[in-house]
Amino acid sequence: MAYLFLDTTDHLIVGLLSEKFEWIEYYESEERKSSAKIHGLIHELSKKHSIDLASLDGVIQVAGPGSYTGMRVSDGISQILEWSNIKSYGVYHFDVPQLLGEKNYCWYANAFKGETFILEVENGKTTKHLKLEEEAKEFLHDKLSVGNKIFTNFESDSVFLDTFFSSSILKSCPEKIFPKIIEDDSVTEIYYYRSLEDEFRPCRK
């Protein structure tokens, strides 16, 4: 019994978790064309660890935010597995700090089109922003100066030395994070930085 883990919000990450939420295997590649490799990789990992995909306890995907094309890959696989009655669960990168108990923080990422996405959590209140890059840096610097923790998804997005990474938390604390994802079972939709109408408009630069 195991869970399949997928994160294609930026590059390709595929993992297998035991029923106790310990990593059986965690594979990370800088490959951004996930669709060309992900199916074969899932097959290789399941064969290597003698795991029948039909017997999975579930599939857990990072449902955003991130690359529109990349997220469609993991979401498509989740939907296919759901057709085989394999339960699908989701988590957003910006919710990971809250799952660890953080009360006041900002999570940010490059939202493309010259903009930065910021999710701010302060005393239980959540606010989302799309800011131009320089404006975002000033905003985050101000938050950092008053003691708020700053998170992003991957090191490649980091603009501050004191940034924490939601991807690293998922990798290093699976037994703390994943049971809460399963218990919560509330993430069902892919989260894009913008509405689809705005996503495909020309950039502001």
**So what's the pLDDT on residue 149?**
94
**So what's the pLDDT on residue 36?**
80
CATH class of the 2-93+167-197 domain in this structure? alpha beta
Domain ranges for the chain, please list them. 2-93+167-197, 94-166
User: Which residue carries 């599939």 as its tokens?
Assistant: 59
Side-chain-facing half-sphere of 12: CA atoms under 13 Å: 16
Residues of the chain where predicted confidence (pLDDT) is lower than 50: none
**So what's the pLDDT on residue 153?**
94
**So what's the pLDDT on residue 201?**
65
CA distances 91 to 19, 43, 54, 148, Å, are: 18, 23, 22, 22
C-alpha–C-alpha distance, residues 5 and 74, integer Å: 9
**So what's the pLDDT on residue 194?**
86
C-alpha–C-alpha distance, residues 168 and 42, integer Å: 21
Alpha-helical regions (H) of the chain? 38-48, 68-83, 96-99, 133-145, 166-172, 174-184, 196-199
User: Which residue carries 């990798």 as its tokens?
Assistant: 171
**So what's the pLDDT on residue 203?**
57
| Angle ∠(180,181,186) on CA atoms, nearest 5 | 120
Return the percent helix, strand and coil in the chain, to nearest 5. Answer: 40, 30, 35
**So what's the pLDDT on residue 123?**
86
**So what's the pLDDT on residue 179?**
97
